[in-house]
A and B are shown apart, each in its own frame.
Chain A
C-alpha cells in the first residue's frame, strides 16, 4: 500500500510561472520529508527538505510547505525555468533513514 502519494503524474507550466507539486502521505509517524529531482538516465538528486516541526522551508526558488493535519506537502517553484523540467519525487521518513517515496510527478516547463 502506497504510503506516499503523488496523484498528478504530470504537470505543464509556462516559463516564469509558478509550479506547484503536491504530495500526500498516510503515516502519521512520518516526521521528515524531502523532495528529489530526477533527470532521465540519472539518479535522483536532493532538492529540499522539511521536518515536522516546521510548516515551511525555503531555498531560493524552491519552497516546501507542510500541512501535518492534512498529511500534505507541496513544492513551489517560482519562477519556473525550462531547466526545472524533470521528474520530482517526494519522500517521507519516520526515522531519517528509511524513506518512502511517491510515484513521481513529471514537470514540463514550456519556454
Chain B
C-alpha cells in the first residue's frame, strides 16, 4: 500500500512487557516521527529520525527506544510497558531535509497497558 502504515492498529499488553509498534512509509521520506496523543496534551513528539541510522529525542522520550536501519521503517519499542504509556501512537514522515513541509501521518496505533 502506498503511503504510511502502522501496525498493529490496536494492542493490549501487560505492565512490564516489551512491545514494538511498526511504521512503514513508501515515499522514501527522509524524516520520520513518533507522537503520542493523550487527552489534555495533544500530540507530543517522542522520537524522530532525520535519515537511516540517525535518531533524536523529542519531548517525551523516556521509556521508548527507536531504530531506523532502513529509510522506510521506523519501529518504536516500549522496553517495559507502563500504564502511563497507554495512548494512541502516531507515526509521521516528511520529505524535505530541514525544509518547511507538512508531515504525513499514519492511522495510529491504540495501545492499552493493563
Point out residues on A near B: beta carbons under 8 Å: 2, 4, 6, 32, 34, 36, 41-46, 49, 51, 89, 91, 95-104
Contact = CB atoms under 8 A, between A and B. Distances in A.
Interface stretch (B14-22, B40-48, B66-74): B40-48
Contacts of A89: 42-43
B101 A41 contact: no
B104 to A, nearest CB: 7
A41 B110 CA distance: 9
Interface of B: 4, 31, 35, 40-45, 48, 50, 58-59, 90, 92, 94, 96, 98-108
B42 A98 contact: no
20 contacts: A41-B107, A42-B108, A44-B43, A44-B90, A44-B105, A49-B100, A49-B102, A51-B100, A96-B98, A96-B99, A96-B100, A97-B48, A98-B45, A98-B58, A101-B35, A101-B42, A101-B43, A101-B44, A103-B41, A104-B42
A98 B105 contact: no
Contact of B50 (A36, A91, A97, A100): A97
Given A42-B108, A44-B43, A97-B50, 11 more contacts: A32-B100, A36-B105, A43-B4, A43-B90, A51-B100, A96-B98, A98-B58, A99-B45, A99-B103, A100-B59, A102-B42
B107 A42 contact: yes
B99 to A, nearest CB: 6
A84 B35 CA distance: 24
Contact of A41 (B35, B99, B108): B108
Contacts of B42: 2, 4, 6, 89, 101-104
